[in-house]
Each structure stands twice: as C-alpha cells, then as structure tokens.
C-alpha cells in the first residue's frame, strides 16, 4: 500500500467496487461521462501505470478486459451496427495527466475515436500502434516515458495506440472524450453534478455486480 493513495485505500472505493478478480478491482468511476457503465480497472498492488506491469499482470488484465468488454456490450446494448469485436473505449494516462498516481484503465460503453484529436493536439509526440497485449510494457521498460494509451475506436481495429511524452494537462483523455460525446460539462470528475454522478455510479454497480457473483 502507498500511504495517501486513494486507490490503495479500499475504504474509499468500497461503495463503487463491482468485483475483485486476480488482484484487480473493477470500480464504477467518479465522474460518469456516459449515463452509467463507465468503469475503472485498478490493480490492488500500487503500480504507477500499465507500462510498469509484469507479463503476468498484463495477462491477467487482458482476460479481465475481454470479460468486461462482453458484459458492457450486452448490458448497455451497444450498437450492433458497430462492426467490431471491441465496441468499447479504453484509455489510460501513463504518468501524464493523472489525478491519481496509481494505474487505472478506463472503460466506456461506447466507441469514441480519439486518435485524430490526440495527433492534432500533440503533433510533436510520436504515436505508435501496439501489436500485442504486452507491447506497451515491453516498450516502456526500454524507455520509460510518460504516455497516453487508448484503443483506436475504428471499426474492425481492436489494437491500442500510445502517444509518447505528450504535454497533456490533467484529465486530458476525459476532456476530449467528453467533448466528443457532447458532454463537456462532465469532463472534470470533481466538477460534475454530485447527485447525478452518485445516481449513475450506484446504478452501474447494481447493473453489473451480478455478472461477477
């Protein structure tokens, strides 16, 4: 446990915890940009970012990601017209733009293509497509730089992408996702309507917890 880290203190998460699997917690996040179903996958062990994961952690994470993808697709009736086995959006701030410096992968039950916006905002930062699940930790171990990670959000393309060393502000990926979905007022989790957020978070826990019992 890292003293002072809100993701290490299970008491700060317990009302929003949906499941604990293989040393990971699935949590309904604060600041629901979508109308429910917005989740975080958080390792129990304090790790700064996904890039620091071991091969074993990455393998466990991938299995959980695949399961959550299936559950969100069914529970939130994601458009079947989206011709992809991956009709959700994933992203992570890799030690840049983090408000909590403990690795956490975001899941949204909708497809948002963030690639063009990120390339436009950071034209001097290298964007790289990841070829396999452990590609990010392998690259990060060789050159541990800040990064943004996201799924491409394109039909038929389930590969992740990474933007290396971007000058991203806090909550950058939340901000551009909220903009893309026409909900800029939900970009900053700390400024969202607390009653609405509590309602959406509670509904998310209730709708999804039974899948993991």
CATH code at 123?
3.30.428.10
Please check whether residue 3 lies inside any domain of the structure: no
Rounded to whole angstroms, how far apart are CA atoms 138 and 115?
22
For the segment 144-155, what is each residue's pLDDT rounded down to a tens digit? 999 999 986 655
Please determine, for residue 157, whether its predicted confidence score (pLDDT) is greater than 70: no
For the segment 173-198, what is each residue's pLDDT rounded down to a tens digit? 999 999 999 999 999 999 999 999 99
Share of residues in the chain with pLDDT > 90 (%): 78
What's the confidence (pLDDT) of residue 2? 66
Say if residues 88 and 152 touch (Cβ distance below 8 Å): no
Please check whether residue 109 lies inside any domain of the structure: yes
Tokens 């299936």 locate to 70
Please determine, for residue 1, whether its predicted confidence score (pLDDT) is greater than 80: no
Report residue 39 CA to chain centroid gap: 7
Question: For 152-171, what is the mean pLDDT?
Answer: 82
Please check whether residue 1 lies inside any domain of the structure: no
For the segment 94-142, what is each residue's pLDDT rounded down to a tens digit? 999 888 999 999 999 998 889 999 999 999 999 999 988 789 999 999 9
> Which residues contact residue 75 at a Cβ distance below 8 angstroms, ignoring those fewer than 6 apart?
37, 109, 207, 208, 211
Please check whether residue 95 lies inside any domain of the structure: yes
What's the confidence (pLDDT) of residue 81? 46
Please check whether residue 202 lies inside any domain of the structure: yes
Count the domains in the chain.
Answer: 1
Please determine, for residue 84, whether its predicted confidence score (pLDDT) is greater than 60: no
Q: Which of 106, 75, 76 is nearest to 174 (CA)?
A: 106
Give the structural domain span for 140: 10-212
Say if residues 106 and 90 touch (Cβ distance below 8 Å): yes
Say if residues 163 and 122 touch (Cβ distance below 8 Å): yes
Map residue 153 onto helix, strand or coil.
coil
Please check whether residue 27 lies inside any domain of the structure: yes
The full 3-state SS of 79-108, as one line of letters, equals CCCCCCCCCCEEEEEECCCCCCCCCCEEEE
Please check whether residue 104 lies inside any domain of the structure: yes
Please check whether residue 5 lies inside any domain of the structure: no
* First-to-final CA distance of the chain: 26
């Amino acid at each position: 446990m890292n003293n002072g880290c809100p993701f290490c203190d299970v008491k700060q998460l317990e009302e929003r915890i949906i499941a604990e699997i293989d040393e990971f917690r699935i949590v309904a996040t604060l600041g629901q940009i979508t109308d429910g179903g917005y989740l975080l996958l958080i390792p129990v062990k304090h790790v700064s970012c996904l890039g620091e994961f071991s091969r074993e952690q990455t393998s466990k994470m991938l299995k959980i990601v695949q399961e959550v993808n299936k559950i969100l697709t069914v529970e939130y009736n994601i458009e079947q017209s989206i011709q992809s086995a991956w009709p959700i959006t994933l992203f992570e701030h890799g030690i840049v733009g983090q408000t909590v410096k403990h690795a956490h992968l975001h899941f949204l039950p909708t497809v948002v293509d963030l690639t063009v916006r990120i390339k436009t905002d950071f034209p001097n930062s290298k964007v790289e497509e990841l070829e396999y699940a452990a590609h990010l930790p392998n690259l990060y171990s060789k050159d541990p730089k800040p990064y943004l990670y996201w799924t491409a959000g394109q039909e038929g393309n389930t590969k992740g992408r990474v933007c290396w060393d971007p000058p991203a502000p806090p909550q950058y990926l939340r901000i551009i996702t909220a903009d893309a979905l026409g909900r800029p007022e939900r970009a900053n989790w700390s400024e969202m309507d607390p009653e609405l957020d509590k309602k959406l978070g509670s509904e998310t826990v209730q709708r999804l917890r039974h899948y993991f019992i």
